[in-house]
Amino acid sequence: MSFRAKHLLGIEHLAPDEITALLDLADQYVDLNRRDVKHSEVLAGLTQINMFFENSTRTQASFELAGKRLGMDVMSMAMQASSVKKGETLIDTALTLNAMHPDLLVVRHPHSGAVNLLAEKVNCAVLNAGDGRHEHPTQALLDALTIRRAKGRLHRLSVAICGDIAHSRVARSNILLLGKMENRVRLVGPATLMPSGIAEFGVEVFEDMREGLEDVDVVMMLRLQKERMDGGFIPSEREYYHRYGLDPEKLSFAKDDAIVMHPGPMNRGVEIDGTLADDINRSVIQEQVEMGVAVRMAAMELLVRARRSSPREVLA
C-alpha cells in the first residue's frame, strides 16, 4: 500500500503514487456504487463526524453517503448553528468532538489553514472538505478520476481552468494535482481574478478565453464566487459572461473531444451556458458528482488503513 498520509489536508503533501493508489481504489468503488446493494463493511463500526463551518449541501451529502456506504456511523453537525455561536473556539470544539473518539473528522471551514490547525489537536484522521481559499483535495481527486476515466489517462493532457482562480480552493488543489501528474495547466480569467505570484506556479496564464482554450483536452469551469466578492473584481455579470462564460462558440477552440467540467453549483448564464452544461456529449458534470462519492470512500478507507499500519497506533 503506497498511501501514507495521516490526514488529507491538501494535495500539496500527496505524492503521485499516493494519488494513483487512491484513484485506483476509487475506480472499484464506482463499480460498487452502481450496483443495487451499495454497501461495504470495510469501515464498519467506525465513527465519522462531519463538521461543516460553512454551508454546503452537495459536499456534505457526498461525504455522508460515502461514510455510510463503507459501514461507518456518520454524524453531521451544522457548526454554524452550534456552539461556535456561543463563542467556543475552533480548538475547543475539536477537542470536544475528539473526546467522543471519532475515527474520521471531515471538516469544512471558511478560513484557510483552519483544518490544518484542527488536525494538530485531534488524534483521528482529518479530511479537509475545503478550507477558505486554500485547498479542497477531494474535489481535485474526483476531477482527476473523472478526467482519467474520460480520457484514459491522467498525464500529458492540456487542461484549462477558467474563471475566478483567486478565490477558488478548487483551482489551487487542481493546479497542484494536475502539475504533480505532469499535465499542462492553463489558467484563463480576468487579471483581477488571478492570484498574486501566479507567474511562479508553473502554469500558463491567459486573459483571452479563446486563446486559452485552444486545443485543450479538458475545460474546467469554476463557479464565480459571488459571495466572496468584496465588489469591484469584474464590471458586471453580463460582461463576465460575454468574455469568460463558456458557450459553444468559445468551446469550439478546444479539441473536438474536449470535456467540460464544473465543480458545482453552477451559475447558468454567468460562467457557463445552460445548454452546454447539459450536453451529454461534452459535459461530464454529472459524472463528477458520481465520482465524488467514490473518491471520498477511497480517501476514507486509505486514511484509516494508513493509521492502522502506523507503528505508533495499536488498534484492537
Q: Does 32 bind other proteins (CB under 8 A)?
A: no
Spatial separation of the C-alpha atoms in residues 312 and 316, rounded to whole Å: 13
Tell me how far, at minimum, the Cβ of 311 lies from other proteins, in Å: 24
Q: Does 133 bind other proteins (CB under 8 A)?
A: yes
Residues 292-311, one symbol each (x = binds other proteins by CB under 8 A, - = not), give --------------------
Of 111 and 151, nearer to other proteins (C-beta) is 111
Q: Does 190 bind other proteins (CB under 8 A)?
A: no
Per CB under 8 A, which of residues 92..111 are in contact with other proteins? 109, 111
Tell me how far, at minimum, the Cβ of 228 lies from other proteins, in Å: 11
Query: Binder to other proteins among 65, 84, 117, 150 (CB under 8 A)?
Result: 117
Q: Does 134 bind other proteins (CB under 8 A)?
A: yes
Size of interface with other proteins, in residues (CB under 8 A): 25
Q: Which three cell numbers stand for residue 207?
A: 486573459
Determine the interface stretch with other proteins among 88-96, 245-253, 263-271, 292-300 (rule: CB under 8 A).
88-96
Determine the interface stretch with other proteins among 54-62, 154-162, 194-202, 283-291 (rule: CB under 8 A).
194-202
Per CB under 8 A, which of residues 4..23 are in contact with other proteins? 12
Q: Does 200 bind other proteins (CB under 8 A)?
A: yes
Q: Does 90 bind other proteins (CB under 8 A)?
A: yes
Of 230 and 249, nearer to other proteins (C-beta) is 230
Query: Binder to other proteins among 89, 192, 286, 310 (CB under 8 A)?
Result: 89
Query: Binder to other proteins among 7, 108, 169, 250 (CB under 8 A)?
Result: 169
Residue pair 79/51 in contact (Cβ under 8 Å)? The answer is yes
Of 42 and 117, nearer to other proteins (C-beta) is 117
Given the DSSP bridges, would you call strands 204-206 and 184-188 parallel, antiparallel or unpaired? parallel
For other proteins, the binding residues (CB under 8 A) are: 12, 89-91, 109, 111-114, 116-117, 131-135, 166, 169, 172, 195-198, 200-201
